[in-house]
Amino acid sequence: MKLTDLRVAVLGLGLMGSFHTELLTSRIRGVQVTVVNDFVQAKAEEVAARIGARVVADPIEAIKDPEVDAVLLATPGNTHAEQVNACLDAGKPVLCEKPLTTDVDSAYAIVAKEAALGKQLIQVGFMRRFDAEYAALRELIVDGGLGNPLMVHCTHRNPAVPPHFNSEFMIRDSVVHEVDVARFLLGEEIASVQVIKGVATSTAPEGTNDPMLVIFEMTSGRIVTDEIYVRTGVAYEVRTEVVGESGSALIGLDQNLQVKSTDGRWGGRITPGFVERFGQAYAVELQRWVDAAGQGTIDGPGAWDGYAAVAVCEAGVQALTVDGKVEVQLQTRPEAAR
Ligand SMILES: NC(=O)c1ccc[n+]([C@@H]2O[C@H](COP(=O)([O-])OP(=O)(O)OC[C@H]3O[C@@H](n4cnc5c(N)ncnc54)[C@H](O)[C@@H]3O)[C@@H](O)[C@H]2O)c1
């Protein structure tokens, strides 16, 4: 370990925590995972032994540990409020997997607390911003390559999900990514959310609307549509098309491998899962976070972005039981959170 390496604690060693730990210990430069923590002690001990880290059994003590400069939170969303607050109290940069918290009040309290500190320590894990295609699409929009962007159409399809993915969970866990994509691409807030439910796939549990069409109206009046369908049985398909006054652009087609077969059929490759689609984006996200955290700051979506996403998802969940639009309630953005 170099003296200049950022010493990171990883909290939560499930799907995302294991994935991030693997990246941090194999591909990311300038970082050492010194401390690991998981609710399941045996899991933490197994990972610690493998990567040469130390287990700290209590998550708050892991955050406060003197051999920890920065924290990666991959714990379940309902633990984030307490753990992010502990990072702020300790003055340590944190990469918090989405969601920032699971309710708007605790999310805004964090925005206000960080603003009062006067420095940005919280980065939220909206990794699509680090995906080369999304970054290029944003650049195209900002450079005026499409003229005024008028509409965005998103498609978000998973091959399969666990049974607990009900309609509310689909909004909070899946649509949340398009919430951030819409805000990132168009550079404005979401004003309202509407959910249109159609016919559910026969594999959806009773009472779950899968697929759904979610419609965001941005503050400018621009419309963003999102088809969310998480039990396709096919593959992981995430597409985004921006329609502008002078052109349109589409990403996520996976057209890099086109196959023409002798029986007269043709086809391409579809990414089977999120790791194949966004693996590189997670690596870029982590490298930029490590570099920024070493300077005591962030380089990516911050606490306000996390709060705005929570507020939009709250409106989205209300929209599940309402005919028509539900307005997003956003508090005032502190100057320091800009
Ligand atoms: N950015 C993305 O693409 C993406 C994808 C999936 C999940 N996520 C987010 O990542 C986070 C983790 O999701 P996951 O799929 O890895 O979940 P998971 O259930 O696979 O893993 C969570 C881990 O945290 C541990 N844990 C539970 N409570 C804890 C606590 N209080 N302190 C420490 N550890 C605790 C569990 O034992 C488990 O090992 C969630 O916030 C989720 O929304 C983000």
Q: How confident is the model at residue 178 (pLDDT cuts 50, 70, 90)?
A: very high
Residues 22 and 157 in one domain: no
Residue 107 carries which side chain, given as an amino acid letter?
A: A
Residue 73's pLDDT band (boundaries 50, 70, 90)?
Answer: very high
CB of residue 183 inside a 6 A radius of ligand 1: no
Query: Residue 112 Cα, ligand 1 centroid: separation in angstroms?
Result: 25
Ligand 1 atom nearest to 80, measured from its CA: 41
8-state DSSP, 248: E
Retrieve residue 84's tokens. 């992010």
Residues 161 and 264 in one domain: yes
Quote the pLDDT of residue 299.
Answer: 97
Average pLDDT over residues 81-85: 98
CA atoms within 13 A on the CB side of 86: 21
Q: Is residue 264 assigned to a domain? A: yes
Q: Do 30 and 47 share a domain, yes or no?
A: yes
Q: Provide the H-helix boundaries in the chain.
A: 15-26, 41-51, 59-64, 80-90, 104-117, 132-142, 167-169, 176-186, 274-293, 303-319
Q: Using the predicted structure, report yes or no on whether residue 98 has a pLDDT greater than 70.
A: yes
What is the model's pTM? Answer: 0.94
| Per-residue pLDDT at 78 exceeds 80 | yes
Q: Kindly state whether residues 108 and 62 are assigned to the same domain.
A: yes
Do 14 and 101 lie in a common domain? yes
Give the number of other Cβ atoms within 10 Å of residue 149's Cβ. Answer: 26
Tell me how many domains the chain contains: 2
Q: Which residues contact 149 (CB under 8 A, 6 or more apart)?
A: 141, 185, 186, 222, 242, 243, 244
Query: Helix 80-90 and helix 104-117: axis angle, to 10°?
Result: 10
Q: With 90 as the cut, is the pLDDT of residue 224 above it?
A: yes
Concatenating the DSSP letter of every residue in 279-310 gives: HHHHHHHHHHHHHHHTTTS--S-BHHHHHHHH
* Cβ of 21 below 6 Å from ligand 1: no
| Dist. CA 201 → ligand 1 center (Å) | 27
pLDDT in tens, 232-282: 999 999 999 999 999 999 999 865 666 666 778 777 778 889 999 999 999
Can you tell me which atom of ligand 1 is nearest the CA of 38?
34
- Bridge partners (DSSP) of residue 195 are 214
> Is 52 within the bounds of a domain?
yes
What is the sign, positive or negative, of the torsion defined by CA atoms of 142, 237, 160, 95? negative
Task: Tell me the average pLDDT across 204-227.
Answer: 98
Q: Which of 10, 13, 15 to mutate to test the pocket of ligand 1 (most atoms within 8 A of CB)?
A: 15
Residue 1: per-residue pLDDT? 61
CATH number of the domain enclosing 206 = 3.30.360.10
Quick check: CB of 79 below 6 Å from ligand 1? yes
Q: Is residue 107 part of a domain?
A: yes
Query: Do 89 and 116 share a domain, yes or no?
Result: yes
In this structure, the answer to whether residues 77 and 135 fall within a common structural domain is no
Asked if residue 113 lies in contact with residue 289, where contact means CB atoms within 8 angstroms, the answer is: no
| Pocket lining: 15 vs ligand 1, CB cutoff 6 Å | yes
CA 126 to chain centre: 3
Q: Are residues 123 and 53 in the same domain?
A: yes
SS3 179: helix
User: ∠ at Cα 304 (303, 308), nearest 5°?
Assistant: 120
Length of the chain: 338
> What are the backbone angles phi and psi of residue 67, rounded to the nearest 5°?
-95, 20
Q: Is residue 11 part of a domain?
A: yes
Encoded tokens for 61: 């003590």
- CATH number for the domain spanning 102: value is 3.40.50.720
- Cα(299)–Cα(93) distance, rounded to whole angstroms? 11
Taking phi over 0 as left and psi of -120 to 50 as alpha, with beta for the rest, 300 belongs to left
248 and 298: one domain? Answer: no
Cα–Cα distance measured from residue 69 to residue 293, given in angstroms and rounded to the nearest whole number: 8
Is residue 1 a part of any domain in this protein? no
What number is the average pLDDT over the span 150-155?
98
Rg (CA), the chain: 20
Q: Do residues 52 and 80 both lie within one domain? A: yes
DSSP 262: T
Among candidates 102, 150, 195, 157, which has minimal Cα distance to 277? 157
- Helix (H/G/I), strand (E/B), else coil: 239: strand
Is 57 a domain residue?
Answer: yes
Judgement on whether residues 24 and 51 belong to the same structural domain of the protein = yes
The CA 211 to ligand 1 mean position distance, Å, reads 24
pLDDT tens figures, 85-94: 999 999 999 9
- Provide the domain limits for residue 71: 6-127+280-302
Same domain, 156 and 257: yes
